[in-house]
Structure formats: C-alpha cells, structure tokens
A and B are shown apart, each in its own frame.
Chain A
Amino acid sequence: MDKTVADLARAVAPITDGASIMIGGFGSSGIPFGLIDALCAQGTTGLTVISNNAGAGETGIATLLKAGRVAKVICSYPRTPGSIWFERRYEAGEVALEVVPQGTLAERIRAAGAGLGGFLTPTAYGTRLAEGKETRVIDGRGYVLEAPLHADFALVRAARGDRYGNLSYHATARNFNPVMAMGAAHTIAEVRHLASEPLDPETVITPGIFVQSVVEYGVRP
C-alpha cells in the first residue's frame, strides 16, 4: 500500500468543477496552503468550500475567493480581520453563505464520517440558525436535529505522514483536520514531513484508512 503522490498538482487533479471540498485549518493554523494553491492553479471552479473561516489576506481560501472559484461557503466564522476577499464576494452577491455553529459544523462532519443519519444538539435551539429545522424536547430541554455534512474531497494539513496515510499533527494545527479527513469521500493530506518509515502507531492521530493520498509540502506556514 502506497498512498503517496509525487506533487501537489497530481494530488488535486481528481477535483473537478462543482465539487464540495472540506478545507482544514483555524485562523492561519493547520491550513493546507500548498494544496489550495495547486487547486487554484488547476482552474477548478464552482466549488463549495466547507471550512471554519473564509480566508484572510491573499492566502489560503482567500486565494480561491479572489480568483472567483467559490460558489458557496459553509463555515462558522467568515468574518475575521483581513477577510477582504470573502467580504467583497459576499457583498457583490457572488458567493452564497451558510453559517453553522462551530461545534455543529464539526459534529455534522463527524456524523458524515461515522455513518450517522444526524444528531440532536441543544446548540442554536430557539435561534435564527434553527429556523426550519426539526426540533425535539427531551427531559425538558430543546434540541435541534442536524444532518450529516458530506463532501467530495477534504484538503488537510498534517505535520507528519507515512505511505499508509497515517497522520500526526502539531499543536493547534490539528483543529478540523482529523474530522474532515473522516468526513470526506476522498481526503488529500499535505504533510510537512513524509516519513520514510511508518509512524509509531501510538502517535497516529488520523488512521490512514481515512486518507486517500499523501503529498509532502515541506514549507512551514
């Protein structure tokens, strides 16, 4: 078994127009910058991007927004300091936005990866973000039924990986990466260091079964 791919361009080649893509990262931490740049260079468009934020400055998801490749963003916190490209596209009506509470976003992705039909969460009960959704009261407490969130692809960033697709992370760069690896049909991992020997099983955070391809990108963000 060898899931390694020679370069970033080959890793993103399976992604086609109109695909839904989970992109790991929180703020500037744990973002697969190399894969995003390769996807942008490939020219793929009409994308639905699922991520916690919607990019800042001129890097990461902002690169895709600037190039006009994103049709829809599903995220918890699109507005961060420097999120100029998202705000510009949003104001012009060029990108659709679905705001999802952060914990619900993570759990919807997990439900997709874990084969669940959804879950009941107290989050957002009675608020605008629960409008139109099924609700239930259990032991006197209100819950909202949330659906699994699937995606065609996930782009994740890890500190180390091996040819089996096993991944380990560094500090707060872990964030959404493990759950997105689980939630997408095809996960592409950008790793800072591709280990020549398999990772120590005790250090594996994302088991390789959730990863379809691994590409080394040694640049430290």
Chain B
Amino acid sequence: MKSLSDSALAARVAQDIPDGSYVNLGIGKPTHVSAHLPEGREVLYQSENGLLGVGPVPPTGAEDPELIDASKRFVTPATGAAYFDQTDSFAMMRGGHIDIAVLGAYQVAENGDLANWATLDEKYPPAVGGAMDLVVGVPTILVMMRHVNRDGSPKLLKTCSFPLTGLGVVSRVYTDLAVLDVTPAGFRLVELAPGNSLDAVQALTEATILT
C-alpha cells in the first residue's frame, strides 16, 4: 500500500475548496487544509469560538492569548475577518451560511452516517463540541481521515458501531488511500492515492466501493 502523508492529504482536500467559500475546519488534521489552498483563491475560515477569517499562526513572541482557533492554537485575523459570540457562530452553522466543513472521523458508513464524538469506552468522557451543529447545518461535509484504524480495522463501514454525530450527512471522504463520494448507492470511487489498486483498498474497507 502507498499511503499519502498528512500534508499530502491536506493538500488533496484543499484542491476541492472553491474560491469564495466560507469553510469550517475541524480540530486536528483538518486544521492543516488552509495551508495548502491553491494560489489565487480567497477563502474565509470560520473558527467556532468566534472568528470568521482565521489567518496564519503568529510569529513566536507575538501570540495573543485571547486570539485562538477552535484547536486552541494561537492565530491571527485574516484580511476581512470578524469576531462574534457563540450564538452568532452557531447561527452561521445551523442556519446554512457556512458552505463546507472538513471534519475528522472515527467511522463513516456507506449511507453517510458519521461517528466522530464518542467511542464505546464508557470510562472515556465523550466530547461533542460543535460537530453535531456543523453536520446538520453545513451543506457539504468533507471527512478527512486515515483509511483504517491503528490496529488495521476498517473505518469505512456498512453501519457505524460508535454513537452517531449525524445521520446521512457526509458528502465525500478523503483518506490516505482513496477519495470516495457518498452516493445513494453507497461509496463511489473518485480516485485512488497514487500507487494503490482498487482490490487492495477494497480489502481494507468493510463497505463495498462502487466504481
């Protein structure tokens, strides 16, 4: 298998962010998508804690502890940025004003169900944040994740076994091995990461990959 690096995966997702979009990047890996946006596109990134227009990380020594993104990284405001409170922030999401959200996931099912907030381990406190609000309000939900778990078990399933974040909400999945669209018939192959065969990727996927 030939696996894309995290940064190559972020760059692949960035290709599909159109000029002029309002985009919410989930915490973790999706945060890196903005660094790979192709030149010539202007995109405003929403951070759910109250910033529309997330700019680059400031130089060391210039950090403002009261200017952070949802991943709690120090950031700067981009040109055209705005600050707002939580009720406005979630009105942007639920109200359908944000165009695209890029989220991480534990599991995605072939009907577009997403599980990314809780596992089955009861000792481990669940943490939902804004994920459930995003998936009901943002029309295009892109998932960015490794194709399989660390133990090799599949993450692209017929049915999610973990508690759901949203039902039938995922539009497209980007993994280190493939890009797949969620269609009414199931996962449909968009492309394989260079150096991989469909048979090898299918073997690591519980759900059937349509071509």
Contacts and interface: CB of A to CB of B under 8 A. Distances in A.
Contacts of B125: 78-79, 86-87, 90, 97, 99
Given A87-B125, A121-B94, A177-B85, A28 B132 contact: no
A198 interface: no
B199 interface: no
Interface stretch (A7-15, A38-46, A168-176, A209-217): A168-176
A172 B163 contact: no
Contacts of A121: 94, 136
A28 B74 CA distance: 10
A77 B74 CA distance: 19
B47 A178 contact: no
Contacts of B124: 79
B85 A174 contact: yes
Contacts of A174: 50, 83-85
A87 B39 CA distance: 43
Nearest to A142: B167
A220 B136 CA distance: 37
B86 A91 contact: no
Q: Which of B64, B129, B163 has the most CB of A within 10 A?
A: B129
Given A80-B72, A106-B87, A101 B130 contact: yes
Nearest to B54: A172
Contacts of A122: 94, 136-137
Contacts of B77: 171
Interface string A79-116: 11100001100110000010111111111001000000
B83 A172 contact: yes
B90 A102 contact: yes
Contacts of A169: 83
A170 B94 CA distance: 25
A198 to B, nearest CB: 22
Contacts of A91: 123
B104 to A, nearest CB: 14
Contact of A123 (B72, B83, B126, B132): B132
A127 B165 contact: yes
B48 interface: yes
Contact of A76 (B67, B69, B83, B129): B129
A107 B65 contact: no
A171 B163 CA distance: 35
Nearest to A95: B125
Interface of A: 26-30, 52, 76-81, 86-87, 90-91, 97, 99-107, 110, 121-129, 169-179, 205, 220-221
Interface of B: 47-51, 64-69, 72, 77, 83-87, 89-90, 93-94, 118, 123-133, 136-137, 163-167
